[in-house]
Amino acid sequence: MKVRTIGVISFISVAVSVGSIWAGPVGVQRSVSSDQRAATVAELQVKHDQVTRQMLMPPYNKGPILIHNMDRASQLKDLINRIQSGQPVSPDEIDQQLQAPIR
């Protein structure tokens, strides 16, 4: 009886884990037109340029603010590269980067 119970529990756990693999990504658009992709990349590039320019001006070019802005520029560039290479990107991640204030 115990072997049978363990077997059933194992089968159920495997079925649950395989089901999540087949479900695919949640909240990610399957197909984005090239126009939408180009517009998103352009918006992100403008934000990246703003952060990069701000890193050159005092008081933003010293200390923790400089490190924060360098990290932000790197995140924006990474997101731009992922979109251009066709990798799936969450719309929430794009919105988060576009709405984050520049320090």
pLDDT digits (tens, 9 = 90+) for 55-96: 898 888 888 999 999 999 999 999 999 999 999 999 999 999
- Tally Cβ neighbours within 10 Å of residue 77: 15
Helix locations, the chain, DSSP H: 2-23, 34-55, 63-84, 91-99
Q: Considering Cα of 83, then 89, then 91, then 95, what sign does the dihedral take?
A: negative
Task: Please state whether the predicted TM-score (pTM) of the whole model is above 0.75.
Answer: no
Is the separation of the CB atoms in 7 and 15 below 8 Å? no
Q: Is 31 helix (H, G, I), strand (E, B) or coil?
A: coil
Q: Could you tell me how far CA 77 lies from the centroid of its own chain?
A: 11
